[in-house]
């Protein structure tokens, strides 16, 4: 019993130390002891174990520091294990390799009609993307900690429903695991999440505050808390904003997505749906047209802003957030668009722009894998 207790305590303390290094790096052993309340001996022993497993790296004392007792600076090991992120959009499959601190090391993108292919064929089309990413990781001598998957939809009880992809209650985790087996990759962790939840995690890992709310998405419009401990995935795109609005493919009427969704806005402004192009270049053609004063683009943005403000009235009534981070495609419409949305609302809500670009969901997919390693480093070491 006693031994079990000590083991569980060590596991807990290792997670505590790892989380502090992730958040505060670079940080010294003395600072870790102060911030965790653990003894210096315990911290040192845990750090030795974490550096031995290449999860943490000691950069040594700060260069140019006055001699005395120079403290080593600890960071998450940039040469340690990596996480793979995979994203399924309606017209593409994207992949990324991230190191433990969230830095992208390699990217892959494949244009593919995922929406037209059906779930099984769509996931099978990810095989060359996965193969190339694994080849890159292996060539660089990296261990892969797992694969995170972002999908433009929602995940309930492990099953994915994604209107833009035409997926209904798909066991995407099993399908991706099948692709990994086909590549002779066994025993890897696969995590599947909606693209908005992934983007929110990426935003949090990039430093956003825990009590903010994230509103974004590329394929969909969704709401997610920035606190990774809270699981809530709001399908905001299908909140009705017009009582007598048009019929929506979801079965509802007057949904936000019919006014502020990607396809709806592109069609209202008479431009091509940017789809994959935005992931590649980050540009939002509609925003560019509106800046040049194109009347159809300005009208489409106005209509979307009005509908978004309408949806935010309900969000505030339910969740009462002080700050919302606007991300994804909606953030690409710029500060003017944000200001016009806020102006339609009662005072007291701050809407700020995301720090991340169109690859936020892709990064957050891999971020889920990193978050698991950080939350339980000893299990990773023992595995």
Rounded CA gap, 309 and 361, in Å? 23
Find the shortest distance in angstroms from Cβ 238 to Zn ion. Answer: 4
163 binds Zn ion (CB under 5 A): no
Q: If binding is defined by CB under 5 A, does position 248 make contact with Zn ion?
A: yes
Instruction: Give yes or no for residue 256 binding Zn ion (CB under 5 A).
Output: no
Of the candidate spans 66-74, 89-97, 231-239, 301-309, the one that interacts with Zn ion by CB under 5 A turns out to be 231-239
Pick from 252, 306, 334, 342 the residue near Zn ion by CB under 5 A: 252
Residue 238 makes contact with Zn ion by CB under 5 A: yes
Q: Write down the least CB distance from residue 339 to Zn ion, Å.
A: 27
Q: Is residue 262 part of the contact set for Zn ion (CB under 5 A)?
A: no
Q: Closest separation between CB of residue 236 and Zn ion, Å?
A: 10
Identity of the residue, 256 or 287, whose beta carbon is nearer to Zn ion in the bound complex: 256
Q: Does 368 bind Zn ion (CB under 5 A)?
A: no
User: Per rule CB under 5 A, is residue 255 in the interface with Zn ion?
Assistant: yes
Q: How near is the Cβ of 227 to Zn ion at its closest, in Å?
A: 27
Query: Looking at 206, 250, 342, 349, which residue binds Zn ion (CB under 5 A)?
Result: 250
Determine contact, residues 27/71, Cβ cutoff 8 Å: no
Of 365, 368, 334, 366, the closest CA to residue 351 belongs to: 334
Size of interface with Zn ion, in residues (CB under 5 A): 5
List of residues contacting Zn ion (CB under 5 A): 238, 248, 250, 252, 255
């Amino acid at each position: 019993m006693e031994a079990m207790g000590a083991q569980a305590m060590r596991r807990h303390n290792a997670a505590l130390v790892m989380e502090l290094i992730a958040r505060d790096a670079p940080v010294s052993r003395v600072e870790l002891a102060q911030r965790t309340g653990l003894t210096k001996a315990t911290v040192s022993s845990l750090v030795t174990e974490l550096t031995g497993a290449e999860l943490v790296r000691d950069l040594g004392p700060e260069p140019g520091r006055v001699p005395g007792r120079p403290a080593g600076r600890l960071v998450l090991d940039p040469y340690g294990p990596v996480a793979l992120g995979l994203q399924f959009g309606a017209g593409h499959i994207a992949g990324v390799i991230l190191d433990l601190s969230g830095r992208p090391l390699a990217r892959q993108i494949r244009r593919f009609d995922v929406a037209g292919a059906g779930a099984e064929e769509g996931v099978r089309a990810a095989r060359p993307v996965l193969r190339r990413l694994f080849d890159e990781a292996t060539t660089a001598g990296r261990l892969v900690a797992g694969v995170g998957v972002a999908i433009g939809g929602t995940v309930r009880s492990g099953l994915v429903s994604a209107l833009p992809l035409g997926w209904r209650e798909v066991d995407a985790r099993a399908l991706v695991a099948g692709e990994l087996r086909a590549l002779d990759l066994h025993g890897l962790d696969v995590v599947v999440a909606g693209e908005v939840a992934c983007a929110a995690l990426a935003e949090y890992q990039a430093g956003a505050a825990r009590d903010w709310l994230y509103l974004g998405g590329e394929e969909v419009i969704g709401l997610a808390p920035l606190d990774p401990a809270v699981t809530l995935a709001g399908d905001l795109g299908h909140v009705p904003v017009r009582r007598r609005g048009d019929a929506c493919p979801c079965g509802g009427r007057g949904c936000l997505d019919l006014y502020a969704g990607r396809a709806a806005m592109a069609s209202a402004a008479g431009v091509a749906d940017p789809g994959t192009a935005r992931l590649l270049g980050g540009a939002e053609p509609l925003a560019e047209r509106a800046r040049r004063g194109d009347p159809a683009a300005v009208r489409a943005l106005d209509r979307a802003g009005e509908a978004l403000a309408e949806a935010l009235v309900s969000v505030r009534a339910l969740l009462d957030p002080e700050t919302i981070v606007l991300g994804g495609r909606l953030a690409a419409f710029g500060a003017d668009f944000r200001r016009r949305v806020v102006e339609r609302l009662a005072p007291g809500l701050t809407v700020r722009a995301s720090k991340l670009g169109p690859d936020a969901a892709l990064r957050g997919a891999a971020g889920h894998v990193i978050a698991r390693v950080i939350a339980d480093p000893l299990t990773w070491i023992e595995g």
